[in-house]
Amino acid sequence: MAKSGKKATAKPEPSKPDAAGTDKTWLYIVGAAAAAALVGAIVFWQSNSGGGSGPGEKKDPDLAELMAPGPLPDISLGKDDAPNTIVEYASMTCPHCAQFHKIVLPELEKKYIDTGQARLILREFPLDGLAVAAFMLARCAGPDRYYPMVAALFETQQTWAVAGAEGKEKLLLIAKQAGFTKESFDQCLADKELFQKIVETRTRGNEEFGVDSTPSFFVNGKRLTGEHTLQDFETALGGGAAPSDGAASPAGDAPTEPEGTPGQ
């Protein structure tokens, strides 16, 4: 993903979750006792991988439909009454999403969000079980700490977004730094209702709004094209030069979803 305003690091390869290990990883995460409570939610996840209606058409959605309440309440970064709204669909294990949050978002905050001109709404679009767990922790942190938790997880993504039991152990260390205890960590990840609502949020984004890669953005209901640089957002918000014709679709993660993800 192209970067704006700062020296770029090497462009990461799109994440390729281990499809066969997704459920195994999730069972490690929640532990044996919690896994029993999540059987129904995991079945829901699996059933949507092949039985859903598939991704919606990639067109600009109706703004009212895009902003209608979903399975989880939207949490805004910025003023709720800002005249411009950016909706982001992301996965916590997506390297391109981490790059956006570490490099582009600070510039957006400085120019548009902190000045009250725009707000950002992050919606969950997990690509694997570990991403679900990370989003659950952000939600369990509470509305006021949601974005700080998301920022901490993206900043440390390379340390915890690993396969197997090690991923869960690393995620616990990050959660403890954010104030979780082992008990509250396990309790959060055993919340079957929260798990299912995150999966439903992803399914809605895929089937109703045509989201099939991460990160995906809508600015005032218009699908953002280009490479998601600051200039792309400036153009969409009416403050920059138009991107060149034929701009590529977002260099996001995993247009081909791993087995066990919903909405495909």
The DSSP-derived string for 39-96 is HHHHHHHHHHHHHS--PPPSSPPPHHHHHS--SS---EES-TT-SEEEEEEE-TT-HH
* Residues facing 90 on adjacent strands: 124
- In 125-223, which ranges are E strands? 216-219, 222-223
Q: Is 127 within a domain? A: yes
| CATH code of 164's domain | 3.40.30.10
What are the pLDDT digits (tens) for 38-72? 333 333 343 443 334 556 667 899 999 999 999 99
Q: Is 114 within a domain? A: yes
Q: Domain count for the chain, please give it.
A: 1
Q: Is 255 within a domain? A: no
Q: Is 12 within a domain? A: no
Cβ-proximal residues to 185 (8 Å cutoff; 6+ apart), any chain: 137, 172, 175, 176
CA dist 254 → 35, 43, 113, 128, 240 (Å):
26, 22, 29, 11, 29
Q: Is 218 within a domain? A: yes
Q: Is 185 within a domain? A: yes
What are the pLDDT digits (tens) for 174-191? 999 999 999 999 999 999
Is 121:85 a contact under the CB 8 Å cutoff? Answer: yes
Q: Is 23 within a domain? A: yes
pTM of the model: 0.74
**Does the structure show a pLDDT above 90 at 11?**
no
Q: Is 90 within a domain? A: yes
Q: How large is the angle between the packed helices 129-140 and 192-209, nearest 10 degrees? A: 110
Question: Lowest-confidence range among 41-45, 199-203, 219-223, 235-239?
Answer: 41-45
Give the domain range for residue 226: 19-54+63-236
Residue at 43: amino acid letter: V
